[in-house]
Structure 1
Amino acid sequence: MVALIAIAIVGLRLAFPLPEENFSELTHRQGADWAGPLGATIQNALDRNPGLDGVRPLGNGRAAFAARAILAREATSSIDAQYYIWQDDVTGLMLLDELRAAAERGVRVRLLVDDNGISGLDNLLAELDALPSASVRIFNPFTLRNPKLLSYVFDFSRLNRRMHNKSMTVDGVATIVGGRNIGDIYFDYGTGTHYLDVDAIAIGPIVEEVSQSFDAYWNSASSYDADLFLEPPLKQSLQAMADAARQTAAGAGYQKAIQENELADRIAAHDLKFEWSEVTLFVDDPAKGLGEVKSGDLIVEQLIEFANTSQISLDLVSAYFIPGERGADVLRSLAESGVKVRVLTNSLDATDVMPVHAAYMRYRDDLLNSGVELLELRALRQEHRDRSLPEILAGSASGLHAKVFGSDRERVFIGSYNLDPRSARLNTEMGLMIESPTIAASLAEQLNKPEFSYRVELDDNGEIIWLQVEQDGTVTVHTNDPETNGFQRALTVVVRWLPVEWML
């Protein structure tokens, strides 16, 4: 049986190899376009703040969607975008169509997507790629397109590494970097399920750094021209599908968000408002996608240094939190030295990846004993008490997705990096480290609000309890993970002992 499996794996690898060449040509970023409406406005702002970067956090999902749409519409020369997930839902179709429209008016569009996150988009991406001014490349492609996930059977070590970066840079003068992928759940509109997430729009010298990083990924050994894998488009359907999406109730809401967003008016009035500071790009070498980067050169080392320089406080917001032994040691050491360390992650009820939460549970007691404060986000919607096994495994779709870290109320990191082994060792990541007391203090104040999370503590017997504090001061004490049942909790115990933490 083992021999047959080995032969099958080798046979599949030979039948579905990677192409000998990644792409037809190297291409690079264009120079900043200061003549367009966006460039002219930003130039005025930069002249008033020489040498500094301007940053606007985007915490509201609708504003984050509108910012991307407006920047795409204002583009006159180039759009460079890279994303881990791009969904074929309302916002995904609308934003993909904004790229199409920009390309059709002559803007050079380069779109780099991770193949793990573009389910259902092959035909539409092929349509975009076919436009003269647009190019699509795929990072770590699945050579077997259908059934796609079967590629893991014969190429797991490569496909287990993904490009988790998220950025969109327009005309070489403005960029959006952060935790959001492209899809409805990341732009939190309406009463349905959605994530809490954060990214930021930035201008200034940092844009050139992001553009250089994009070029490195675009021309990397893990990136391939889309037409090497995607069939030619059967018909021109992107615009029609996007128009249909705009006609839905959700689409109308996003259209309204674009119309009401102040960004377009500020651009027209040459009056954009930013927080001015020094900003540093933290980004992995794209060779990490092939496992070819030395441990000391990974972004995790920069973030550990970021944490270790904290003297007063360290606030960590991470959707997925598995500190590992080294990370736990760093947090324990800081807390025991008097630094106020707080971590906000998802509760078991709120998480969308139960195995990650199960692995995190192994570290809770030791962190609490050392003085680290743990907060677990409440689910944003009421869960049904009776859920199927797949639903339990999938978890909630209404939880935390942000990755934001603040130090000493002086500096803040906004990016794609989760505090887990996958971000540290397997996925490529990026983010902005911003020297801004205003933004860092805002993060700290958000964590001071008790009503959105459970405070995790140890009782007098050393047992974990969850304190639920309401706005009126009412406190409810939970002795088990709130809003969960015995089967869910038992499942985490089983998963906790599986040897899979390294890949979570």
Structure 2
Amino acid sequence: MPSLPFTPVVTAVRTRYRAAIAGLCALLCATTFTACQQLPAPGPRTQSTTLTSAQASATPLGQAIDTARAAHPDLSGIDPLTQPLQAFASRVDLVRTAQRTLDVQYYIWRDDLTGTLLLEELREAADRGVRVRLLLDDNGIPSSLDNTLAALDAHPNIEVRLFNPFVTRNPKFIGFLTDFSRLNRRMHNKSLTADGVATILGGRNIGDEYFGATDGVVFADLDVLAIGPAASDVAHDFDRYWSSASSWPVKDILPAAPANQLDALDRAARAVRDNPAARAYIDSLEAKTDVRRLLDGTLDFEWAPTRLVSDDPAKALGKAPQASLILSQLKDILGEPQRELDLISPYFVPAEDGTRYFAELAQRGVTVRVLTNSLEATDVVPVHGGYARRRKALLESGVELWELRRAAGVNPAKEQAPGMFGSSGSSLHAKTFAVDAQRVFVGSLNFDPRSANLNTELGLVIESPKLASQIESAFSTRIPQLAYEVKLAPNGSLYWIRRNGDSTIRYDAEPNSRWSTRLAVWFFSILPIEWLL
């Protein structure tokens, strides 16, 4: 298996691709910056690690998990979190349940309703004696959070570190113009682990669009709540990132916060809770979550062997051995698909090597099916351009391509019908794939060159025919009703089929798109920027 880069003018550039877009601008910019700001000399860092198994078992959460695992001692308990509200409420309850430690690692953390509420929950956990370690990629946080993060770091039970930080805080993009090779590499991992024994990981960042708390774009996404060996593996992997050379104590990067900054966080959280527009969403958090079901012994886990796959954090410095990268690990764990590969990725840019690999699978008789965003649903037009240039070759080889439609009238306050890849949101963000209806991957990995070569990623391979079959079934049932099928006409042109019950509609151009957006897709598809996407 080769090293795969599995991997709209821009209407809403995702934070994930800010580095790529800023880098492209830097390459084209005629302005010369003569004074490049440098990171300060590394100072002393406190040493800390996850709890031992004995320490973890002494907590109420550890005791509940030990009881749940009694009949499955060598397996991980997996609970898919497909619904956005459920996924946020479970995070809140996991933070509230922790008694000893919270290890929190994210790429994006918004300064919005859900971001404010979860930061306040972390502070309240620290107030009751929980040790909180918060590791955030510096590209994914707004400068408006700098004072809050500095104030949290001053709390005796909280330490905040920034991964691959920017020296210039506002505007950050200047850093790309002066230090592009370093800042183009980001930490895309996402996990929240309580007391070293229960973790939530997957595709969701922290922001309203990931949890259905917005009237704008709502992402269809997927996380899992995991206990057992999977949670222990994530906890130890967090230690590895926490102590890596790219993780900088926030006090080395940010100035000290104003003395009353934590009071400002309290006021912001109260304002969110008192906002009538947010009242229904916040009230819904009081519903019984899967974390509470775990504590009272009523949560029905899928018990399965798991393997954690995670990039060496040295990848962020361009120094990780090839064997330590996530795609090499997936190759060793998954092997070659024999019957079927079902892949769901919001940003699918297979590039030349990936296109060849998928084509060879299809030509060997393996069913290869891909679900990604349609042009109307994508939030990054340049990425769609990288995908579009490979569509014809993929279809010619027998690969099935499905493109999620943008859902109209999605009500973020209402849960959608569950599915393995998440709710029927207006844009796909889940990252998962299944091999031979036996094994399934859930994590942060997109099938694009950025995930393969530049960003660090994290995920679980789960040996579960039950979960893998749900993805297989989705391609036969739900996906044809939610997505356009891309087809190849006899003359070599592409067309799109939309199904509505038993009826179909044919589109001979990208559905529900303007000619100017299609022109932008074409323009980006011919630029030599695939490696950035």
What range is the shorter-chain TM-score in? Answer: over 0.9
Q: Which structure has more RCO (C-alpha within 8 Å, separation ≥ 6)?
A: 2
Q: Once the two structures are superposed, what CA deviation does each residue of 1:102-132 show, in whole Å capped at 9, x if it has no partner?
A: 0111000000000011102111111211110
Q: Does 1:31 align with 2:52?
A: yes
- Give yes or no for the alignment of 1:475 onto 2:475: no
Instruction: State how far apart, in whole Å, the 2-side matches of 1:374 and 1:220 are.
Output: 39
Residue 351 (1) aligns with residue 374 (2):
no
The answer to whether 1:159 aligns with 2:188 is no
1:194 matched residue in structure 2: 218
* 1:429 match: 457
What is the distance in 2 between the residues matched to 1:360 and 1:431? Answer: 23
The answer to whether the 8 A contact 1:70-1:258 is kept is no
The alignment's TM-score, normalised by the length of structure 1, stands at 0.92
User: Which residue of structure 2 aligns with residue 394 of structure 1?
Assistant: none
State whether residues 86 and 289 of structure 2, in contact with CA within 8 Å, keep that contact through their aligned partners in structure 1.
no
Q: SS at 1:326's partner residue?
A: helix
2:490 partner amino acid: D
Shift of 1:193: 2.0
Residues 6 and 17 of structure 1: is their aligned pair in 2 closer, same or farther, counting only changes over 3 Å?
farther
What residue number does 2:152 align with? Answer: 128
Corresponding position: 1:247 with 2:274: yes
Aligned match of 2:470 in 431, 442, 451? Answer: 442
The one of 230, 251, 255 equivalent to 1:206 is 230
Deviation at 1:356, TM superposition (A): 0.5
Is the contact made by 2:351 and 2:386 (CA closer than 8 Å) also made in structure 1?
Answer: no
Q: Deviations along 1:277-331, whole A, 9 cap, x unmatched? A: 0010010000000100123331122334566521111100000001122211211
Matched with 2:202 is 178
Aligned residue number for residue 412 of structure 1: 440
SS at structure 2 position matched to 1:39: helix
Amino acid at match of 2:365: G
Q: 1:250 to 1:117 in 2, by over 3 A?
A: farther
Contact 1:412–1:436, Cα closer than 8 Å, also in 2: yes
Given candidates 357, 360, 365, the residue that maps to 1:330 is 357
Of 242-251 and 166-175, more deviation after overlay is shown by: 242-251
2:421 counterpart residue number: none
Structure 1 residues 307 and 366: CA distance shift in structure 2, 3 A: farther
Amino acid at match of 2:271: A
**Residue pair 1:189, 1:253 contacting (<8 A) in 2 also:** no
2:507 partner amino acid: H
Q: Is the 8 A contact 2:164 2:247 kept in 1?
A: yes
The answer as to whether partners of 1:106 and 1:133 remain within 8 angstroms in 2 is yes
From 428, 433, 444, the equivalent of 1:400 is 428
1:178-219 Cα distance to aligned partner (Å, 9 max, x none):
010000101124654211110111000122211111111101
Structure 1 contact 179–402 (Cα < 8 Å) conserved = yes
1:316 and 1:146 mapped to 2: Cα distance? 38
- Give the aligned partner of residue 491 of structure 2: 461
Indicate the residue corresponding to 2:419 in structure 1. Answer: none
In the alignment, the residues of structure 2 paired with residue 382 and residue 266 of structure 1 have an alpha-carbon distance, to the nearest angstrom, of 32
Q: Secondary structure at the match of 2:173?
A: helix
Q: Distance in 2 between matches of 1:224 and 1:262?
A: 34
Q: CA deviation at 1:350?
A: 0.6
Deviation at 1:268, TM superposition (A): 4.3
Amino acid aligned to 2:58: A
Conservation of the 8 A alpha-carbon contact between 1:82 and 1:166: yes
Cα distance in 2, alignment partners of residues 458 and 167 from structure 1: 40
Aligned match of 2:264: 237
**What does residue 92 of structure 1 align with?**
115
Relative to structure 2, which stretch is displaced further, 443-452 or 100-109? 443-452
Aligned-residue CA RMSD (Å): 1.9
1:321 aligns with 2:348: yes
Residue type at the aligned position of 2:513: T
Partner SS for 1:121: helix
Matching residue of 1:19: 40
**Retained in 2: the 8 A contact 1:451–1:470?**
yes
How many angstroms does 1:254 deviate by?
A: 3.6
Worse overlay, 265-274 or 490-499 = 265-274
Q: Distance in 1 between matches of 2:209 and 2:267?
A: 22
What is the rounded CA distance, in whole Å, between the counterparts of 1:307 and 1:456 in structure 2?
28
Pair 8,27 (structure 1): closer, same or farther in 2 beyond 3 Å = farther
CA distance in 2, matches of 1:264, 1:207: 14
Q: Is the 8 A contact 2:376 2:405 kept in 1?
A: yes
Inter-partner Cα distance in structure 1 for 2:182 and 2:288: 41
Residues 339-379 of structure 1: per-residue CA shift (max 9 Å, x gap): 11100000011100100000111111111011100000001
* Residues 498 and 199 of structure 1: CA distance in aligned 2, closer, same or farther (over 3 Å): same
Equivalence for 2:246: 222
Cα distance in 1 for partners of 2:157, 2:448 equals 38
Structure 2 Cα separation of the partners of residues 172 and 500 of structure 1: 40
Tell me if structure 2 keeps the 8 A contact 1:72–1:79: yes
- Is 1:80–1:168's contact at 8 Å kept on the other side of the alignment? yes
Deviation at 1:470, TM superposition (A): 0.5
Q: Which residues of 2 match residues 288-307 of structure 1 at below 5 A?
A: 288-304=315-331
Q: Which amino acid aligns with 1:469?
A: R
The CA deviation at 1:38 is 1.3
| Counterpart position of 1:168 | 192
**One-letter code aligned to 1:500:** I
Q: What is the CA distance between 1:247 and its match in structure 2?
A: 2.4
Report sequence identity in percent: 46
1:113 corresponding residue in structure 2: 136
**Mean Cα deviation higher: 118-127 or 258-267:** 258-267
SS in 1 for 2:104: strand
Distance apart, 1:485 and its partner CA = 1.3
Q: What is the Cα deviation at residue 79 of structure 1? A: 0.2
In the alignment, the residues of structure 2 paired with residue 203 and residue 254 of structure 1 have an alpha-carbon distance, to the nearest angstrom, of: 28
Mapped contact 2:89–2:289 kept (Cα < 8 A): no
Q: Is the 8 A contact 1:322 1:419 kept in 2?
A: yes
For 1:391, the equivalent position in structure 2 comes to none
Alpha-carbon distance between aligned partners in 1 of 2:106 and 2:500, rounded to the nearest angstrom: 37
Matched, 1:452 2:473: no
Distance in 2, matches of 1:268 and 1:300, equals 35
Structure 1 unaligned spans of 5+: 384-396
8 A contact 1:320–1:345 mirrored in 2: yes
1:493: which partner in 2? Answer: 522
Q: What residue identity is the alignment partner of 2:527?
A: L
SS in 2 for 1:499: coil
Given that 2:49 and 2:239 are in contact with CA atoms closer than 8 Å, whether structure 1 keeps it comes out as: yes
Q: Which range is displaced more, 486-495 or 413-422? A: 486-495
1:63-78 to structure 2, matched below 5 A, reads 63-78=86-101
The 3 A distance-change label for structure 1 pair 202 and 368 is same
Letter of the 2:107 counterpart: Y
